[in-house]
Amino acid sequence: MRPRAQPLKSNPMLPLLKTEQLTKVFGGFCAVDRVSLTVNEGTIHSVIGPNGAGKSTLFKMLTGMLKPTSGRIWFAGHDITGEPPHVITHRGLAQSFQITSIFPRLTVLESVQTAIIARLGRCFDFFSRFHQSRAVRQQALEIIEQVGLSELADAEARTLSHGDQRALEVALALATDPKLVLLDEPTAGMSPYETRRMVNLVRELAQKRNLTVLFCEHDMDVVFEISDFVTVLHQGRVLVEGKPDEVRRNETVAEVYLGSEVQQ
Ligand SMILES: Nc1ncnc2c1ncn2[C@@H]1O[C@H](COP(=O)(O)OP(=O)(O)OP(=O)(O)O)[C@@H](O)[C@H]1O
Ligand SMILES: [Mg+2]
């Protein structure tokens, strides 16, 4: 059996997540170039930048899916650089992943229960199975309610609308009981109605669960509406960082990288 990582306790004196000079080189190409990022607990922090800026590569290094070429990642004060994804998840850093490609025939409730059981791991032993299964079901139903899918608890994941599938992906991330959730383009491909729902969901989660959210997003209205802090990446490097208003007013960002989208 694999050794299980301990969830990390955050230290209010330290940022929840910090990277130091994080770098990823593919062949001779530097996709993420000495990025030093600080994400404070309880904030909604967005990473923006044009296509190919390195946002997804940065996120994949944070979740352990890609090993950094150099640099360090600190989570709740512990160096997690190079740890595998399942260890990083147990430490409390979760990402949402595409449910439809993993559990397409499970229902919403079964999917969330499965994710909770995966987190409980060995604790879910034979003798306590009965009691735990009721507890797991209850916990799953609460998470499903939080993401607004209660009425679809018995629907198969593959039959959900695009917006509902993305909400289920967030539910699966929540099932790992995270401190920080990473969302890579949570509103991609969504209708205006679905986008609004996702915006409200992210905001509610941050407030009610005291979750820290790090997300990348192309929809600037969403970014400026819900972010506490924005980091702009360009060609793998941090170009500008600041509060949404500061970034919106920054001429380099507005003219060169975001074009007319922010010049409203
Ligand atoms: N596995 C890989 N091998 C080689 N190059 C890669 C790999 N993954 C990403 N890249 C390159 O690294 C750069 C950054 O890609 P990345 O996907 O991180 O950008 P992004 O900011 O997420 O873009 P988008 O907004 O389009 O999602 C791109 O030029 C991409 O082609
Ligand atoms: Mg990307």
212 CA distance to ligand 2 middle (Å): 20
Using CA atoms, how far apart are residues 61 and 23, in angstroms rounded to an integer?
A: 9
CB 212 within 8 A of CB 181: yes
| Helix 108-120 with 129-146: angle, nearest 10 deg | 120
Given 161, 177, 193, the domain boundary residue is: 177
Q: 103 and 81 in one domain? A: no
Q: Quote the pLDDT of residue 263.
A: 45
Q: Is 36 helix (H, G, I), strand (E, B) or coil?
A: coil
Same-domain status, 83 and 109? no
Residue 117 pLDDT: 84
End-to-end CA distance of the chain: 56
Rg over alpha carbons for the chain, rounded to the nearest Å, is 19
What predicted TM-score, i.e. pTM, was given to this entire model? 0.90
CB within 6 Å of ligand 1 — which residues? 26, 31, 49, 51-57
Range of the domain at 18: 1-92+180-264
Ligand nearest to the CA of 28: 1
Same domain for 72 and 121, yes or no, is: no
Q: Do 138 and 187 belong to one domain?
A: no
Neighbours of ion ligand 2 (CB under 5 A): 55-56
Task: Compute the 3-state secondary structure of the chain and give helix, strand, coil in percent, each to the nearest 5.
Answer: 40, 20, 35
Tokens matching residue 161: 């609308």
Looking at ligand 1, which residue's alpha carbon is closest to its atom 17?
56
* Domains of the chain: total: 2
Closest ligand to the CA of 55: 1
17 and 93 Cβ atoms separated by less than 8 Å: yes
Under DSSP, the state recorded for 156 is: B
* Structure token pair of residue 48: 């923006």
Which of 130, 162, 177 is the last residue before a domain boundary? 177
- Per-residue pLDDT in tens (0 to 9) along the chain, 264 residues: 455 567 777 776 679 999 999 999 999 999 999 999 999 999 999 999 999 999 999 999 999 999 999 999 999 999 999 999 989 998 999 988 666 566 778 899 999 998 888 877 755 555 556 556 888 999 999 999 999 999 999 999 989 999 999 999 999 999 989 999 999 998 988 999 999 999 999 999 998 888 999 999 989 899 999 999 999 999 999 999 999 999 988 888 876 665 545 444
Q: Last residue of a domain, which of 130, 159, 177? A: 177
CA distances from 14 to 38, 117, 146 (A): 10, 31, 29
